[in-house]
Structure 1
Amino acid sequence: MPPIYKPTSGPEDWKQFLAKPDLHWKTGYSAKSLAYCWEGADGLPSEVATAIRNQWGAEPEPLLIIPEYKVPLPGGATDSQNDAFMFCRIGAQTAAVMIEGKVNEPFGPSIGEWFKQPSPGKIERLQHLCTLLGVSYPPAPELRYQLFHRSASAIIEADRFKADLAIMIVHSFSRTRAWHEDFAAFTAELGAPGETGGLPRAISVPGRPFHLGWVTGDAEYLTR
């Protein structure tokens, strides 16, 4: 398909871009909560804007936001389908930002589960992800595969857009920070603190600065 996008008229427009709309579009789940939160924001959700402002001391200006953004990866036909992609200005810099929405959904299979009896395509893909993120191959089996390809998506698109920064944000609406321990284990592997609300730099990633963090959305969007 050609890279042509049209503006949304409201949060319900996000449903059509889901891989399985009838399964994933439910009140209290991440896809719908994220859509209503981002569509209802004046610019950016306050928790996202605050995390960026605290890290760089400048007000973020969203230039482009695309729901359900696919990033091709080597080693197979399956893309990394990110919940949202944002290209923004942060002061004098630009940033490619991937957003991963969560409520109580896990980060999918672990590396050990996904990489069991790996095909040549999976080997190629995982080697590529590890190279982008600057971590040893193969990585620890308990780490979550989804966090690898979501983070790589930000780095890949930052390169394509010639952005100064690559950022991956987990935008969680969980009241109990469900699955935060998996996120913290992943950020530790990349040499970045996994605290909530911050966007520390991952020191393992070579080249362009890559930052990642976890922010918590308003509970009101769990009822939309």
Structure 2
Amino acid sequence: MKRIYIPANGADDWAQFLAEPVKHWRTGYSARSLAHCWQEAEGFPPEVSEVLNTSEALRGTSMLLGIPEHQVALPGGSTKSQNDVWVLGKRDGELVSIAVEGKVAEPFDRTVAEWLERETPGKHVRLQFLGKTLGLSEMPSTIRYQLLHRTASAILEAERFNAAHALMLVHSFSQTHDWFEDYQAFAALFGIEAELNRVHRAKRVGKVTLHLGWVCGSAEYLGR
């Protein structure tokens, strides 16, 4: 992984980091909506700050830096977990690792069962690693694979930067809350009854406290 990052001067600078820019950098899609929202905020977008404040542990978190399309390596293959935005925050002297997953109408990739249809030894290594990282003894085949590895990436980066907290945050611009039920099913693995616009404490994993959250984004960015 390269260690030098170039600052973005505008939202369009984010497109170069997408795996498929032509396909994903389109008006009304999550990549473009998220980029315009976060770039214009010059910090946390207002709705994100509001949702962070629903958590006693994360209330008042400030944003130190954000990296678009930040890749986190995982064992069991060459494919990395590519965070739409990864944020390093700070709250009362403690660092916070935030993996942001932008959404509009697209699903959280395949279910675990669909992902395992073409089985390889590497996939089983990865699945075991994800379970260990998340502190889960079992992962139902109906859970969306993307939620597993995105949450794990928040924890891994928390460990790398010695952060006390890790947050997997869905920032959805869908005005009908598409795929929220999949997020709810994932959160239920940690005993959470997930709600819109709220951060929930999931569990302690090693030295890191894991949190999950869902933010409803403004419809104005769907037209950017």
Residue in structure 2 matched with residue 216 of structure 1 by the alignment: 216
Shift of 1:47: 1.2
Secondary structure, aligned partner of 1:200: strand
Length-normalised TM-score, structure 1: 0.96
> What amino acid is the match of 1:20?
E
Residue in structure 2 matched with residue 76 of structure 1 by the alignment: 77
Residue in structure 2 matched with residue 188 of structure 1 by the alignment: 188
Identity, in percent, stands at: 48
Secondary structure, aligned partner of 2:214: strand
CA contact (8 A) 2:68 2:85 kept: yes
Whole-Å separation in 2 of the counterparts to 1:94 and 1:193: 26
Residue in structure 2 matched with residue 127 of structure 1 by the alignment: 128
Shift of 1:199: 1.0
Over residues 115-142 of structure 1, what are the superposed CA-to-partner deviations in whole Å (9 max), with x where a residue is unaligned?
A: 12521100000000001111124x2111
Secondary structure, aligned partner of 1:166: strand
Q: Structure 1: which 5+ residue stretches go unaligned?
A: none
> What amino acid is the match of 2:137?
S
CA contact (8 A) 1:132 1:205 kept: yes
Whole-Å separation in 1 of the counterparts to 2:173 and 2:41: 15
CA contact (8 A) 1:169 1:215 kept: yes
Length-normalised TM-score, structure 2: 0.96
Residue in structure 1 matched with residue 14 of structure 2 by the alignment: 14
Over residues 27-46 of structure 1, what are the superposed CA-to-partner deviations in whole Å (9 max), with x where a residue is unaligned?
A: 00000000000011142111
Q: How does 1:55-204 map to 2 (within 5 A)?
A: 55-56=55-56, 58-137=59-138, 139-203=139-203
Whole-Å separation in 2 of the counterparts to 1:48 and 1:110: 27
Shift of 1:174: 0.2
Q: Structure 2: which 5+ residue stretches go unaligned?
A: none
Over residues 138-185 of structure 1, what are the superposed CA-to-partner deviations in whole Å (9 max), with x where a residue is unaligned?
A: x21110000000000000000000001001100000000000000000
Residue in structure 2 matched with residue 23 of structure 1 by the alignment: 23
Count of paired positions: 223
Whichever structure has more strand as a proportion of its residues is: 2
